[in-house]
Amino acid sequence: MKKLVLAFLLAASVTPAQEMVEKKAPTIHQVETKGATVYFLNIPWGPVTFGAMEKGGDTPNTRRTWPFARIETTKPATLGSAKLAPGNYALVFHPNQGQGMSLEVLKIAAGEFLEPGNARTPTPAGESVHKEPISFEDAPETVPALALSVEKEKAGQMLVIRYGDRKLARALEL
């Protein structure tokens, strides 16, 4: 009986976000489009963590940058208002520290910096080529982990970033 109570107490001390990370370690996924490939970690959705990143807060997760994707371009491209020469770039979230959440694009050395199994991949060294404030919008359904897609629209292509019940879209021109 003591073992059963101890097991219950240990299980109850793990938050749903911790449990999800422990059960499903992030892996690298990719989305291809003509002229670019986007690689991303399917970091499990943690509504408390992401909420603090969006709205602000003082936690270890809001005091660090979050590199979540890498984009390789083989020809000049535009991501939102960022002009990208052919090359290798890191996409990085900056949590809200009083000025709102932002997205930064870093020009980085060739090669992979994303680490399978590590939701806290360190931000690679690189040259900042663009940084802009971002606002996610509500999404109609909740995805269990970060997901990126390239969607065709009348005006061209959109890079769509989905995280839980949140969505951000940026024009991707190649």
Domain boundaries, the chain: 14-173
Per DSSP bridges, beta strands 66-73 and 166-173 are unpaired
* Burial class (CB within 10 angstroms; exposed 0-12, middle 13-18, buried 19+) of 33: middle
Helix axes 47-55, 16-23, angle to 10 degrees: 110
- The model's pLDDT over 19-28, given as tens digits with 9 standing for 90+, comes to 344 457 999 9
Please check the confidence at residue 9 and state whether its pLDDT lies above 50. no
Q: Are 94 and 101 in contact (CB under 8 A)?
A: yes
Kindly tell me the sign of the dihedral angle through the C-alpha atoms of 102, 78, 107, 87.
positive
pLDDT at 6 (0 to 100): 35
Please check the confidence at residue 66 and state whether its pLDDT lies above 70. yes
pLDDT at 96 (0 to 100): 94
This prediction has a pTM of 0.84
Residue 153 belongs to what H/E stretch?
strand 147-153
pLDDT at 98 (0 to 100): 87
Q: Are 146 and 163 in contact (CB under 8 A)?
A: yes
- The model's pLDDT over 91-129, given as tens digits with 9 standing for 90+, comes to 999 999 889 999 999 999 999 999 999 999 999 999 999
Q: 78 forms bridges with which residues in the sheet?
A: 83, 173
Q: For residue 42, how many C-alpha atoms fall within 13 Å in the half-sphere facing its CB? A: 15
Mean pLDDT of the chain: 87
pLDDT at 156 (0 to 100): 84
